[in-house]
Amino acid sequence: MSQLGLDESSDEDVDLFNKRIRPLKGTRSGSPMQVGFLHSSIEANEHYVSLSVPVFDATWRGLRNEVLEFVDRFYGLEVPNTRTLDKIVWLAYANHSNTYEHRQNARTVLKYLLENGETGKQELMSEIGLEYGDENDDQRFRGMMKYLRGSWKDEEDALNPLHTSNHGFLVSQEMRGQRAYYQIDVREFKSSMNVVAGNIRSFLG
């Protein structure tokens, strides 16, 4: 609390401190994805906080299973409006500040792919109000899809927080001649999740 400039003798500051660390504990009310990194305990009336691999493993496993179950259940069916779909978008975009419109479009694209399976670029662009063949719209579409595909291999700074050098994210692209087609790639998602989880566990020690 002293590192945050908070006074532990102040009830107001204690409440503020608890509010600030709640997302890091993966609690339902504090974290949109409910993935935790911290363990807290009270010993002899003292409150202790530490990084925790077991907390991360348990909450990450819960999120991963929830997303996989959602994808398996609704692939090829009408996808309901659900917070699990929002979590997938959060996984791709995290707190990147300049992606609000991309997030909205990404949600529409993922929902469409889950309902319809493999889909051409032209159809996906149309779904989010972009004109196929327009250079600016094409650039917007590719910028949005980078987060869903994890396709940063030719750039130094990967903006997708789940990017790894060996794996994409949840959507794969296949070129057939000059046309691009996209589909949900659950195998790639699983591989990416495993790599990212390993990286975080290594960081946590």
Residue by residue, DSSP assigns 14-56 as HHHHHHHHHHHHT-TTT-SS----EEEEEETTEEEEEE-HHHH
Residue 181's pLDDT band (cuts 50, 70, 90): very high
Has residue 166 got a pLDDT over 60?
A: no
Indicate if the pLDDT at residue 97 is higher than 80. Answer: no
Q: What is the pLDDT of residue 150?
A: 79
Question: DSSP secondary-structure letter at 118?
Answer: S
29-83: pLDDT as tens digits: 767 788 899 998 888 888 899 999 999 999 999 999 999 999 999 999 999 999 9
Question: For position 38, what pLDDT does the model report?
Answer: 92
pLDDT digits (tens, 9 = 90+) for 111-129: 999 999 999 999 999 999 9
In contact, 64 and 87? CB cutoff 8 Å: no
| Per-residue three-class SS string for 120-189 | EHHHHHHHCCCCCCCHHHHHHHHHHHHHHHCCCCCCCCCCCCCCCCCCCCCEEEEEECCEEEEEECHHHH
Strand partners, 46: 43
Higher pLDDT, 47 or 94: 47
Q: What is the pLDDT of residue 157?
A: 57
Rounded average pLDDT over 154-159: 54
Alpha carbons 79 and 126: distance in angstroms, whole number: 19
* Axis-axis angle for helices 135-149, 83-93 (nearest 10): 100
Q: What's the CA gap between 151 and 171, in Å, rounded?
A: 10
Selected residue with higher pLDDT from 157 and 13: 13
* Cα–Cα distance measured from residue 184 to residue 112, given in angstroms and rounded to the nearest whole number: 10
Residue 154: predicted pLDDT: 56
pLDDT, position 17 = 92
**Whole-structure pTM value:** 0.82
